[in-house]
Amino acid sequence: MFSPEFENTTADPNSIRTLNNILESINEKVAAPSQISFESDYGDAYTQSTQKHFFLEKMRDKTLKMVVPAVEPPYVNYVNFTDAAVTEKGYGPGVVIEILKEIGKRLNLTYEIIPASGSTWGEYLNGSWTGAFGQLVRGEVDLLAGGAIMEYDRSVISDLTYPFQFEPTGIMIRSPEKYEDDTLLIVTEPFSWEVWVITAAVILISGVIFLGMTNIMGKFYKEMSVTPFESIWVFFSIFVQQGLPEQPRSWSCRVLVALWWLASITLSATFTGSLVALFAVDKTNLPFQNIDQLVRLIKQGRFEIVMDENSFTRTEMIARSKLPVYRDLWHEMIVNHKVKYVNGVSRGVAFVRANPGYALLGPMATLNFYAYSDCKVILLNDGILPVYLSIPMQKHSIYSSYFSTKIREMVERGFTQKWIADYRSYVAMQKINECNSTTTGPKSYLDLKRAQGAFWVFLGGAGLGTVLFIGEFVFKFVKGKMNKGVDAKPFEEITTVSPNSVQNVASIENPDAIQLLDPHPINDPIENWSLRRRNILNLSLDLSRIAN
């Protein structure tokens, strides 16, 4: 598998310290910041880069000594200034080497590589600088060929050039296992639980509002009459793209229903699109999405931090931060020792790749290329602790202003980003070839494993319908039994107040014997028979009311 070259990392193995020593030294430095003396005319190369007089004649045809603190793509991929190396390897030497190479051509410079001593970058301890910065302070080298983080302590003892890159700190973890629990995948994955809860709440609230509007408008516009359940069911039917048996008549109710219909169409389209994306691409569940969730997992003992022991700048940034999340993280690091230090970013990547439950904090761009070249590690999109990167040079070097001016030109003209993009393209091609040869792509069809959620929803609906059917049947059956058990009270004689009622119930079986209350009898036999039938009907109604 493709991986960047790291043979130029020359840290002294004997300089590696224990975890306790690392944390104690950083804690002491944060608690009592070192007092570094500097001259009153201090000014770094960044502020002096507008000067026009560069002493070109003094700078030409010289040999500059440099140390390579670390090989960290895409800033230092390898150390070779020849064009033949680019042709042979297929990619450039890195942003920093490209900058030095371009400036070297302009001034006809020669670079002499000096081995690094001690820790890679070095730090200020006990009144002196160690590592590569120690060599720079002592005058053993003229510059450090790497992307150094710009910070105050370093700017006091060296000239930091114009920054060539703005870079956050990345978080890398081992690639988690693919999504396996597909029981309700088709239901739960397109929408988050928040969306489902809000949708249910909107249906309920809209149903209550619709019920009130129909009751009020029913007095004026003859609006449709609905029960509370039917009102909620109207909006649920719209959500699942069903029609309404009856349309509202008032404009207020129509607008409410129409707007929910429009919202339901949008939700339905989003649901469909999410399903398409879900089945087209394999889903990966990340244990956390940001630094807050990571710190929460660290507190729970489920994760630990991994960092490069050769550069403590990011550790100091965590220790100095006043934000609650970083204060909690520093507490876990210094008190509970939830951190491991490794010798170099490459070893950190290898450690995280082999051990789940660890998160590597390092330069985003460098980790990004490891993620491009290795299918078994993944880099989170959101970065933390952003920094500027520059090339350190000796304090008050005659080359500082010239280097800063040329670096500014390269940055503004897009050369630095081009070099990074070229290397990214090369690494991406290597990853495609590697991953395609070792892994299988997503399935082109929808199998039962991922579609089972739809059938589970149907079975759940069928089960709920069966329970409701049994409940309704039992309710109707019991109610019918109770109604049949009620006996009507017997009566002997009924006198009604209806003008068409009868006085003698005993003569009901003989319609001709019924005595009418009308003082004007009707002589027509047909009309007389009709009136008798109506009187019998009225008597039956009165008797049923009394029985009830």
Residue 505: pLDDT band (50, 70, 90) is very low
Banded pLDDT at 445 (limits 50, 70, 90): low
pLDDT at 118 over 80: no
User: For the segment 1-31, what is each residue's pLDDT rounded down to a tens digit?
Assistant: 334 443 333 333 343 445 565 555 555 555 5
- Greater confidence (113 vs 445) lies with 113
* Count of beta carbons in the 10 Å neighbourhood of residue 281: 10
- In this structure, are strands 148-149 and 165-174 parallel, antiparallel, or unpaired? unpaired
The pLDDT value given to residue 163: 95
Tell me the average pLDDT across 387-396.
94
Q: What is the arithmetic mean of pLDDT over 143-159?
A: 92
- Nearest C-alpha neighbor of 363 from the set 307, 414, 291: 307
Whether 42 shows a pLDDT value over 70: the answer reads no
Question: Mean pLDDT, to the nearest integer, of 310-317?
Answer: 84
How high does pLDDT run on average in the chain? Answer: 76
Length of the chain measured in residues: 548
Of the pLDDT bands very low, low, confident and very high (cuts 50, 70, 90), residue 234 is: confident
Residue 54 has pLDDT above 80, yes or no: no
More confident residue, 453 or 298: 298
Average pLDDT of the segment spanning 413-424: 91
Among 60-74, 116-130, 434-448, 512-526, name the most confident range.
60-74
CA 269/CA 412 separation, integer angstroms: 43
Single-letter code of the amino acid located at 444: S
Q: Tell me, what's the pLDDT at 330?
A: 94
What percentage of the chain carries pLDDT values higher than 90?
32
pLDDT digits (tens, 9 = 90+) for 132-141: 999 999 999 9
Q: Are 96 and 391 in contact (CB under 8 A)?
A: yes
**Separation of alpha carbons 170 and 73, rounded Å:** 14
CA 140/CA 58 separation, integer angstroms: 20
What span, in angstroms and rounded, lies between the C-alpha atoms of 261 and 256? 9
Full-model pTM: 0.60
Q: Is the pLDDT of residue 302 over 90?
A: yes
Residue 96 neighbours by CB distance under 10 Å: 30
Q: Two tokens at 74? A: 């895409």
Task: Provide the token pair at 484.
Answer: 């049949």
Tell me, what DSSP letter sits at residue 32? S
The CATH architecture assigned to 190-280 reads Orthogonal Bundle (1.10)
Extents of the domains making up the chain: 13-166+387-434, 190-280, 505-547
CB-based contact 292:325 (threshold 8 Å): yes
Q: Rounded distance, CA 154 to CA 145, Å? A: 15
Listed range (47-61, 228-242, 278-292, 467-481) with the worst mean pLDDT: 47-61
* H/E element, 384: strand 384-390
Phi-psi region of 55 (alpha: psi -120 to 50; beta: other; left: phi over 0): left
pLDDT value for 307: 93
Residue 102: pLDDT band (50, 70, 90) is very high
CATH match of 13-166+387-434 with 3.40.190.10 = yes
The 3-class secondary structure across 340-377, one letter per residue, is EEECCHHHHHHHHHHCCCEEEEEEHHHHHHHHHHCCCE
- Measured at the CA of 35, the angle between CA 34 and CA 39, to 5 degrees, comes to 140
Highest-pLDDT range among 286-290, 358-362, 421-425, 454-458: 358-362
